[in-house]
Amino acid sequence: MGSFHRHIIKSKKAITMNNRLSIFLIGSIIILSQLLGTASAQDLPGKRDSINSVILKEKRIIQVLLPEKYKPGSTDKYDVLYVLDGDWNTKLALEIQHFIESEAYMPPTIIVGVLNVDRDRDLTPTHVDNPKTSGGADKFLSFLKNELIPYVDKTYPSNGDNTLFGHSYGGLFVMYALLNEPNVFKSYIAADPSFWWDKHYMNKQATDKLPGLANMHRTLYMTGREGEGLVGMGIPPMDTILRKYAPADLIWKLTAYPEETHGSVRLKSMYDGLKFSYAGYGTKGAEFHPMSGILLKDKPIKIWNFSDASKAHYTIDGTEPMLTSAKMAPEITLSGPATVKAKLFSNRDRYNKTTTGEFKAGTFLRARSTTKNMKPGGFHYAYYEGDWDKLPDFEKLKPVQSGITDKNFDINKFPRQNNFGLVIDGQIEIREEGYYIFGLSSDDGSKLYFDNQLVMDNDGLHGNDVNKSYILPLRKGFYPIRLEYFQKDGGRDLKLIYLTPTIMNSKNPIPIPLELQYGAN
């Protein structure tokens, strides 16, 4: 028997002998927190609002905080974070959510702090003798589902994607809400939940109802205090039940924090819980290279995965990947034409991202001989000035200057640093037969034409984190090449690189050597 299990058994005996004392102490902490929270409730940020509840037969106060970037009259919609014990958790939620958003781990979010009337009543699932008003979680959950959330959705710019945070009794209620109304919230954060309540009442509910959450793709983040604190709150048995009965698509995690109190654990719980709920937000999607191209018959290729293999799944028949689809391996072999779809799954379905690659059957592109006016040492370029949001028709424009992309060529040396465009064209010499992978990245838009065919489209306003790649079978000879680029504002970047058959397995692309670049003088 491991030391962790021995520690739990020892702690359980101590809790059994001192159960009344433990519950009294926990209750005292909760009552003190209520008193302190009530005293500061009037100082909460945001807008004070209220709703007359028919279900609860009382007026309920909420504190609503809109995203900083929200502008009245805007059509933008936002996720909503519902915070129980809003009297003392709303300020904490505001600071943590703003910080996480600033680090691009979650989107702008509406925060709704639900202030208390009788938390003993609202947050507990069963009635016990003490506290006397306990056991109203069913009505409180009905209030949230049928009155409060519809009111928020109607009154504020909500998109209906909700998270629920609760601590202590609130954490107990979070689990109750997940098991009984799993459609109301997408993510559930239970901080140091009071699973000891009514002889571990929630354990039986979890055992019975967890299997019914299959195919709902919800997230649950539970926390506690390492050691006796975890045991005293009754959390380890729930962890065991989740391991046994939770469906595969219930994404859940338990974290036990060392050296925290019942009150202080809220901060880390909310921070880590929100990051967990939105894991995958802000990522650019699955990345594999080459992303598209032309395949020869009986000449298989490999595509390389640069995504988190644990979160990326793929198909090669064009169907949308599911969590049951094959996981992206570091290398995937394609033996013939395929539509590769790779999906990077987040913990929130709305932020899943799919990358698609088209690999068509074909033959070697036709090589040509170089023309008389072409000389090695760099492609020809034409520089244009203009304000665009996408690539213009350069053939209708007159260049400001032109030249050769020799060793002195640098896009940072043009008269303008913003609002300019380039057309780079000429012939590329291929000295080795086989597959070539071309890579293109730019800030802002670009397109690459090979033998007068568009092979990579990277147009639009974006940073240099959008990378394209294309695989081509080439024979020895010369091929026309054309690269179009524009820069609006901000950073500027343009890279065209490639892998030759000799260096293919290195996965380290290089710029096209100047001696293989032919441009017209």
Distance of CA 342 to the CA centre of its chain: 15
Residue pLDDT, tens place only, 58-90:
999 999 999 998 998 899 999 999 999 999 999
Structure tokens at 122: 């609202």
pLDDT digits (tens, 9 = 90+) for 385-437: 999 999 999 999 999 999 999 999 999 999 999 999 999 999 999 999 999 99
Percent of the chain with pLDDT over 90: 81
What CA–CA distance (Å, rounded) separates 246 from 355?
30
Query: 33 pLDDT exceeds 90?
Result: no
- Model confidence at 31, pLDDT cuts 50, 70, 90, reads very low
Amino acid at 415: P
pLDDT digits (tens, 9 = 90+) for 210-223: 999 999 999 999 99
Query: Residue 282's pLDDT is what?
Result: 81
Cα separation, 281 vs 497, in Å, equals 29
Beta bridge partners of 403: 381
**The residue to which tokens 């179009």 are assigned:** 484
Is 356 in a helix, a strand, or coil? strand
In the chain, the domains with their CATH numbers are 3-277 (3.40.50.1820), 288-361 (2.60.40), 374-520 (2.60.120.260)
Q: Letter for the amino acid at 251?
A: I
Q: Is the model's pLDDT at 230 over the cut of 90?
A: yes
Strands (E), 401-464: 401-404, 420-430, 434-443, 446-450, 453-458
* Residue 463 confidence (pLDDT): 86
SS3 state at 477 = strand
Determine contact, residues 400/371, Cβ cutoff 8 Å.
no
Contacts for 99 with CB less than 8 Å, ≥ 6 apart: 271
pLDDT at 28 over 80: no
Q: What is the dihedral of CA 118, 120, 126, 128, to 10 degrees?
A: -120
The pLDDT confidence band at residue 40, using thresholds 50, 70 and 90, is: low
Q: Using CA of residue 262, residue 263, residue 266, residue 268, what is the dihedral sign?
A: negative
The pLDDT value recorded for residue 466 is: 75
Q: Is the pLDDT of residue 14 over 50?
A: no
SS (H, E, C) 239-286: HHHHHHHCCCCCEEEEEEECCCCCCCHHHHHHHHHHHHHCCCCCCCCC
Mean pLDDT, rounded, for 490-501: 94
Contact 82, 163 (CB under 8 A): yes
pTM for this model (two decimals): 0.76
Q: Give pLDDT, residue 22.
A: 44
What are the φ and ψ backbone dihedral angles of 24, each rounded to 5 degrees?
-60, -45
Q: In this predicted structure, what is the pLDDT of residue 35?
A: 42
Residue 159 pLDDT > 50, yes or no?
Answer: yes
Comparison of pLDDT for 62 and 17, the residue scoring more: 62
User: Residue 488 in contact with residue 443, Cβ under 8 Å?
Assistant: no
- What pLDDT does residue 34 have? 44
* CA-to-CA dists, residue 202 to 143, 174, 252, 288, 398, angstroms: 21, 11, 17, 44, 74
Q: How far apart are CA 356 and CA 457, in angstroms?
A: 13
